[in-house]
Chains A and B, each alone.
Chain A
Amino acid sequence: MKKTDRWIFLVLICLIAVFPWLAQNIGAISHYVELMIFAGMFSLVCLGLSLLMGYAGQISMAQAAFFGIGAYSSGILTAHFGWNPWLAMPVGASTAAAVAWLVGIPALRLKGHYLAMATLGFGVIVHIIFNEEVDWTGGPSGMVDIPGLSIAGWKITSEMQWYYLVWGVVLVVLLFSFHLLHSRVGRALRAIHEEEVAAEAMGVPTSRYKVQIFIFGAVTAAIAGSLYTHYVTFLSPSSFNLMWSIRFVLMVMAGGMQSLWGALLGTVLLTFVGNEWLQVFADFEVVVYGAILLVVALFLPQGLISLFHRAPGARHNPVSPASDEG
């Protein structure tokens, strides 16, 4: 981790720590704590996705499906079989990993955007399964009776506790990702992004790394899904449809693909935009998202994070990003 990143990380920890206290004392934004819980869960999805998009140069249109696999695994195992939620969570994550591996191996061996296409189809299939397997998932009417979480006998009930739990997990994943990027594996990922052929010729197994990153993103999304399940204690398939996958991609793009800070910024910002600031648009929300994407793509191709000049963690590419062929 670079020095500047370390400072931002420390500042972030402080901000996260004091935010609920501030919010609760200001009446108008006291419900922001709850929004931040969701933003934290979405951040888990988007951190993995930003590694995939920014470094492996691939897009996954199935993040909502992986989120859902984690959510329903936890939901089914705890509600139908009475499992401990902490046991169900790794099962959900492993399921997502196995599925990502199956989808990723053939799609990532090929050059080009086959992963985007494969995940698009896969995401739709998963959504249909959530809808149709009524015995297991409750179908379109949803699934109830999902227990909450408790740690060592302590039930996690208040929003504050949930907030700190979720953001604690986010910080761990963030730290993990930073360490990953500034290491042998991260160098390989950055090399793949810049000159894939050269990376391969220097002994980097490029498709294996792409698959690993894709699996990593699926696992963090599934963990987020499990947390979501136990927080909301109600599941409905509509939370895991294609629209949500697109939202996640937008969050990453808006914040800045090649920066973990950007992914975080984009996720928190768009969570607030979608659920709070622009609710007046209701059904036209999609249009608003489209407009945001357009503005970002045209004026800030490196994402919002590039507004913070020479933002640490954001790698500035003086050369054109079209370096796929070479």
Chain B
Amino acid sequence: MPGTEKKSILPILELRDVRMNFGGVAALKGILHGVPEGIIQAVIGPNGAGKTTLFHCISGLLRPTSGSILFQGQEISGFVPHRIARLGISRTFQHVALFKSMTVLENVMLGRHPRTRSGFWATGFRLPGMRREERRIRESAESYLELVGLKEISHLQAGTLPLGKQKILEIARALATEPRLLLLDEPAGGLNMRETEVLGDLIQRICKYGTTVVLVEHDMNLVMDISDQILVLHYGEFLASGSPRQIKDNPAVIEAYLGES
């Protein structure tokens, strides 16, 4: 291993010519990009740009047609999702995918799954080690709920929460897996201004605690406010990359957003 100094320069996530074809349709046409550790990276682009496809590839829900994805220097493309989660990548979904009939607390407790180990026999026979672990799972789940401000409603059924709270809960569940890299797919979608503000604040706190955040987002105010680096995709292709300031002034980006429809 190189020294710690070098480690911070090494990108936590590296996309090398990632391509994804669905039949004859190319959703990603060779994406090349590096995400440095400890930043907030935004991925933007008009609808159909391939942002969600890219997330699916990184989290293992899709296997890229070609190219490689490196996480902390390790090739992960083609790994099954639960293995990638165990390695330290977690995510939320564009259309909230909570376990709706489970409670808020149980949702976050499930997030502890890759960091705990009690198996079939231990839980069925209620062995002492399992009970201890169960207690620890509950405690840490509660602390994640406290972090995102949902502790007071931890006993409610997840499906009964308003959308804004559901989105936050999904983030808490993802955080519970202790990710080094957190992928947020349109976290502000459907949120009002006040909720978006709270969300932006939370994302910045998550980053400060040392988790690299990649978010796909349409709310440009939020993106410009919190991102350190922005990647712009257009019809599955790389269009631009840079700081919010650079992206705002990039003529190609303006063209892509304003020049159509």
Chain A contacts to B: CB under 8 angstroms: 176-177, 179-180, 183-188, 190-191, 194-195, 197-206, 212, 216, 315-319, 323, 326
Contact = CB atoms under 8 A, between A and B. Distances in A.
B82 A177 contact: no
B174 interface: yes
B102 A187 contact: yes
Nearest to A179: B126
From DSSP, what is the main secondary structure of chain A's interface residues?
A: helix
A202 B101 contact: no
Given A183-B118, A186-B123, A319 B100 contact: yes
Given A202-B90, A203-B85, A204-B113, A317 B101 contact: yes
Nearest to B89: A201
Contacts of A202: 85, 90, 110-111, 113-114, 173-174, 177
B110 A204 contact: yes
Given A187-B110, A188-B110, A204 B124 contact: no
A62 B53 CA distance: 39
A326 B124 contact: no
A318 B159 contact: yes
B156 interface: no
B82 A206 contact: yes
A10 B126 CA distance: 18
A176 B125 contact: yes
Contact of B123 (A179, A200, A323): A179
Given A177-B124, A212-B120, A194 B102 contact: yes
B115 to A, nearest CB: 8
A141 B5 CA distance: 79
A190 B82 contact: no
A316 B157 CA distance: 11
B44 to A, nearest CB: 22
A194 B99 contact: yes
For chain B, which range describes its interface: under 10, 10 to 19, 20 to 34, or 35 or more residues? 35 or more
B33 to A, nearest CB: 21
Interface string B118-161: 11100111100010011001000000000000000000010110
Given A180-B123, A202-B111, A318-B159, A194 B133 contact: no
B110 A183 contact: no
Interface string B95-120: 10111111000100111111010111
A191 B61 contact: no
Q: Which of A180, A184, A203, A323 has the most CB of B within 10 A?
A: A203
A323 B120 CA distance: 25
Contacts of A318: 100-101, 157, 159-160
A14 to B, nearest CB: 22
B126 A201 contact: no
10 contacts: A184-B118, A185-B118, A185-B120, A194-B99, A195-B97, A195-B100, A201-B81, A201-B85, A202-B174, A205-B80
B114 A198 contact: no
Contacts of A319: 100-101, 159
Given A183-B126, A183-B130, 7 more contacts: A177-B124, A187-B106, A191-B99, A195-B99, A195-B100, A202-B85, A326-B97
A130 to B, nearest CB: 29
A191 B93 CA distance: 15
B86 interface: yes
B120 to A, nearest CB: 5
User: Considering the complex of A and B, which 4 residue pairs feature the smallest CB-CB distances, nearest first?
Assistant: A203-B114, A203-B85, A183-B123, A198-B97
B108 to A, nearest CB: 10
Q: Which of B90, B110, B177 has the most CB of A within 10 A?
A: B110
Contacts of A183: 118, 123, 126, 130, 134
A205 B77 CA distance: 17
Nearest to B88: A203
Q: Which of A204, A317, A319 has the most CB of B within 10 A?
A: A204
Interface string B51-75: 0000000011100000000000000
Nearest to B93: A198
A184 B97 contact: no
Contacts of A176: 124-125
Contacts of B86: 203
Interface string B152-188: 0000010110000000000001100100000000000
A168 to B, nearest CB: 16
A245 to B, nearest CB: 24
A70 B106 CA distance: 37
Nearest to A213: B120
B19 interface: no
A190 B15 CA distance: 34
Given A202-B114, A204-B110, A190 B119 contact: no
A194 B85 contact: no
